Chain A
Amino acid sequence: MHEISVMSEIVKGIIDEAQKRNALRVERVSVEIGEYTMLGEEQLRFAFKVISKDTLLENAELDLRTVAGTIECECGFKGEASPASDTPHRSVPVLECPKCGGGARTVGGRECVIRDIRMVVPDV
Chain B
Amino acid sequence: MHKVVTVEVEKDILSANRKLADENMSLLDEHGIRSFDFLGAIGSGKTLLIERLIDLLKAKGKRCAAIAGDVAGDDDFRRFESHGVPAANISTGKECHLDAHLVDHALEKLPLHDLDYLFVENVGNLVCPVDFPLGSHKRVVVISVTEGDDMVRKHPAIFAFSDVIVINKMDLSEAMQVDPDALENDAMRANPAAKVVRTDARRGEGLDELLAALGI
Q: Which of B2, B13, B16 has the most CB of A within 10 A?
A: B13
Segment 157-172 of B: residues with Cβ below 8 Å from A: 157, 160-161
A-B contact count, CB below 8 Å?
A: 116
Distance between A121 CB and nearest chain B CB, rounded to angstroms: 6
B12→A1 contact, CB < 8 A: no
Indicate with 1 or 0, residue by residue over A94-124, a CB within 8 angstroms of chain B CB atoms: 1110000111111000111111111111110
Q: Which residues of A contact B11 (CB under 8 A)?
A: 13, 113-114
For the complex, give the distance between the alpha carbons of A1 and B190 in Å: 22
Is B128's beta carbon under 8 Å from chain A?
Answer: yes
Residues of B with C-beta under 8 A to A9: 13, 16
CB-based contact A111/B12 at 8 Å: yes
A116 near B2 with CB under 8 A, answer no
User: Are B13 and A10 interface neighbours, CB within 8 A?
Assistant: yes
Describe B's contact surface by its main secondary structure.
mixed
Question: How close is A24's CB to chain B, nearest CB, in angstroms?
Answer: 6
B194 / chain A contacts, CB cutoff of 8 Å: 103
CA gap between A82 and B58 in the complex, in Å? 44
Partner of A38, one of B2, B16, B130, B189: B130
User: Using Cβ atoms and an 8 Å threshold, which residues of chain B touch A106?
Assistant: 160-161
| Chain A residues proximal to chain B, CB less than 8 Å | 1-2, 5-6, 9-10, 13-14, 17, 21, 24, 27, 36-39, 84, 87, 90-92, 94-96, 101-106, 110-123
